[in-house]
């Protein structure tokens, strides 16, 4: 009896997908997990772990993302330059005012693999604080589709 062969997708066979995600009123963690899921290509039936998916995700209205609980006052982002005593910290509410794109980028980065593939996928994420973006018309995802 002959067994059916398992289909493995190849990079050349994939279509280039650009997806538009509106972050207006979305909860940060749930939004980040959905974006990481889409960047990895796990939402497609042709997902293959060793193949880089040809997906790009554009996020608009990053400044209008919401968080639950007391995270605005309790979440702290740290960065260090490498010099002694140079640890900088900033609260989530201040980061949302100064760099709202970075909040979503750091949340998605934490949900991607910590290897070459994760860094490659993070380059395909484009985040904008407002509604306007330079990528033309894209397929937008409604809340029902996510």
Delimit the domains of the chain by residue range. Answer: 16-67+99-140
Give the DSSP H or E segment for 139: strand 139-140
Confidence of residue 145 (pLDDT cuts 50, 70, 90): low
Whether the predicted pLDDT of 143 surpasses 70: no
Which of the two residues, 55 and 104, has the higher pLDDT score?
Answer: 104
Burial profile 59-68: b = 16 or more Cβ within 10 angstroms, e = fewer? bbbbbbbebe
Confidence of residue 34 (pLDDT cuts 50, 70, 90): very high
The SS3 of residue 133 is coil
Confidence of residue 23 (pLDDT cuts 50, 70, 90): very high
* Predicted model pTM: 0.88
Give the DSSP H or E segment for 90: strand 87-91
In terms of Cβ atoms closer than 10 Å to its own Cβ (0-12, 13-18, 19+), residue 49 is: exposed
**Is the domain 16-67+99-140 a CATH 3.40.50.720 member?**
no
Confidence of residue 117 (pLDDT cuts 50, 70, 90): very high
């Amino acid at each position: 009896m002959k067994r059916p062969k398992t289909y493995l997708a190849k990079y050349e066979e994939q279509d280039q997908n650009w997806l538009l995600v509106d972050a207006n009123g979305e909860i940060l963690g749930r939004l980040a997990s959905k974006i990481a899921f889409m960047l990895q290509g796990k939402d497609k039936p042709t997902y293959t772990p060793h193949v880089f998916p040809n997906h790009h995700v554009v996020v608009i209205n990053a400044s209008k993302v919401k968080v639950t609980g007391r995270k605005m006052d309790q979440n702290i982002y740290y960065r260090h330059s490498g010099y002694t005593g140079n640890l900088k910290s900033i609260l989530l509410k201040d980061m949302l005012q100064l760099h709202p794109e970075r909040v979503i980028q750091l949340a998605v980065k934490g949900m991607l693999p910590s290897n070459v593939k994760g860094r490659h996928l993070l380059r395909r994420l484009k985040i904008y604080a407002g509604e306007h973006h330079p990528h033309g018309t894209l397929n937008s995802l409604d809340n029902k589709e996510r």
